[in-house]
Amino acid sequence: MELAIYIIVLVLYLAGLAWIGIATGRRTRDTADYAIGGRTIGPWVTALSFVAAYFSSVLIIGGGGFGYKFGMATIWIGAVNVLVGCFICWVVLGKRVRLVSERLGVMTISGLFQERYGSPDSRIFSAAIIFLFLIIYNVSVLKGMANAIEVLMNVPYWGGVLLSGFVIIFYVAVGGYLAVVWTSFLQAWVMIAGLILLTLFSLNAVGGVSNLHQRLAEIDPGLLSTPGLWGWAGLVSFCLVVSLGTWGMPQLVIRFYSIKDTRVLRLGTVVVTLGACVALLPYFNGAIARVLYPSLPSPDLAIPTLTRDILPPLWGAVFLAGVIAAGMSTFAGVLIIISSSLIKDIAEKGLSIHLEPARELRLTRLTSAGVGLISLAVALRPPALILVLTAFAWAVIASTNLWPLLFGIYWRRTNRAGAFASMVLGSATALIWTAFRNPYGIHGFIAGTAVGLVAIVVVSLMTKRPLPADTDRARGHSV
């Protein structure tokens, strides 16, 4: 009976997503609709789709795994996500990214770099990094969804990967960005409801907050203190990589491209900040799981096991749908970004391949499907903990894109040499630092962005000023 409830809820949910993909596909006429929804998306849909894409199955499953492993100090990660990754991100980037992207007529973050800096090299380099490392990120998202399906429905891991992956590939290939944001809007509500339900039932099972603290202290006092078992270097580094790192993640920045009007950004900022508060809950529930299940074979099984044992079948099915919802939202957004970068930035602009609008749209859809299948193949045998995979991918991508984007919309003196130097040196540092297993406990993102920041300032000041044609067109008169 329990399995039947899970199957019914999941089938209805996945069928609803497929229907949205078909419905929005009828409104997708060209690549502008496919890539950014024709810049017509409202504040509620934009904000909650941002939340769903940001806090995917990576957060729900992987965050719970970190809470299980390191204890209550990990709640700070969620708090910094809300403040830096959502509120400040929307305040600093929202209006300027929306205006600059429209003035330059671009649909991708890599395209903005070429038009702002007059630098085809920056466009191709950024697009290549996005392609390679967002696939790694997609693997972590699929792993999170498959882990949940594996535990809650007794389905083999590979079955969970294929089930969730094929549905996403279908509605993204058919519906494009409109399908992504509207399914993400729905998925955000399901994710929020599922996390709140799990937290209420789990707190009851552990006997309340006071009893939770007492029992964590009995296991290890470090599970209660800050920075606790992790140490300051690890905790602060990770807070920054999954918060400030969002500022350079194309699947999140693209939300600012697509919002219909800068005047609605204030409402969107309020909605995204409130919705993001659920980011604290997976870490908290992971700590609860440590008390209830002290010896799980993998920390990533903490939240699925808690859900299976604590929630009634119907609510467990809702939570499973929430995990899958969050993961699908992120995976779908990433597919759009990768396919747009490959077709628009590398094929058309980089290799000067001329494509008629209809053929361009068709190839973008096929590329989305192809990249999705590659991600599925890799996810069948994934390495490492979910959040470890995520942080590695985010470190390289954010070290490439963060400073060229931020300085490009705020500092007119930034030039093509400074932007390209920041991309190359920042990403290389993040890769090398990670290869040496994060010396001194400092994450590769911190090292990469520090080097990238120095590079963009120093090289820009030491080389020629950018052409007025590049900076004036980007900034306009009202930025």
Per-residue pLDDT tens digits for 6-16:
778 777 877 77
pTM exceeds 0.85? no
Q: Is 118 exposed, middle or buried (0-12, 13-18, 19+ CB in 10 A)?
A: middle
Torsion angle, CA of 255/258/262/267, rounded to 10 degrees?
Answer: -50
**pLDDT mean over 292-314:** 86
pLDDT for 34: 62
pLDDT for 447: 92
CB 30 within 8 A of CB 357: yes
Per-residue pLDDT tens digits for 325-356:
666 666 777 777 777 777 777 777 767 777 77
pLDDT for 200: 93
In a domain, 392, yes or no: no
In a domain, 436, yes or no: no
In a domain, 402, yes or no: no
Residue 444: is its pLDDT beyond 80? Answer: yes
For residue 222, give the DSSP letter.
G
Instruction: Please tell me which residue, 283 or 311, carries the higher pLDDT value.
Output: 283
Per-residue pLDDT tens digits for 227-271:
888 888 778 888 888 898 889 888 888 888 888 878 888 999 999
The pLDDT confidence band at residue 383, using thresholds 50, 70 and 90, is: low
In a domain, 367, yes or no: yes
Please state, in angstroms and rounded to a whole number, the distance separating the CA atoms of residues 284 and 213: 11
The pLDDT confidence band at residue 479, using thresholds 50, 70 and 90, is: very low
CB 156 within 8 A of CB 367: no
- The number of folded domains in the chain is 1
pLDDT for 108: 83
Residue 35: is its pLDDT beyond 60? Answer: no
* Least confident stretch, 129-138, 267-276, 425-434: 129-138
CB 141 within 8 A of CB 297: no
In a domain, 247, yes or no: yes
Question: Quick check: bond before 294 cis, omega within 30?
Answer: no
Reference 181, options 247, 249, 255, 234; nearest CA is 255
Task: Write the CATH number for 86.
Answer: 1.20.1730.10
**pLDDT mean over 42-54:** 85
In a domain, 420, yes or no: no
For the ranges 271-280, 295-304, 459-468, the maximum mean pLDDT occurs at 271-280
Please state, in angstroms and rounded to a whole number, the distance separating the CA atoms of residues 139 and 166: 14
Please state, in angstroms and rounded to a whole number, the distance separating the CA atoms of residues 403 and 21: 35
Quote the domain boundaries for residue 161: 2-387
pLDDT for 478: 44
Please state, in angstroms and rounded to a whole number, the distance separating the CA atoms of residues 330 and 142: 10
Give the tokens for residue 115: 């038009």
DSSP H/E element including 9: helix 2-25
Give the tokens for residue 352: 């000067």
Per-residue pLDDT tens digits for 151-194:
767 788 888 888 777 877 776 666 666 767 777 787 788 888 88
3-state secondary structure of 144: helix
pLDDT for 455: 97
* Least confident stretch, 58-62, 134-138, 284-288, 328-332: 328-332
In a domain, 227, yes or no: yes
In a domain, 214, yes or no: yes
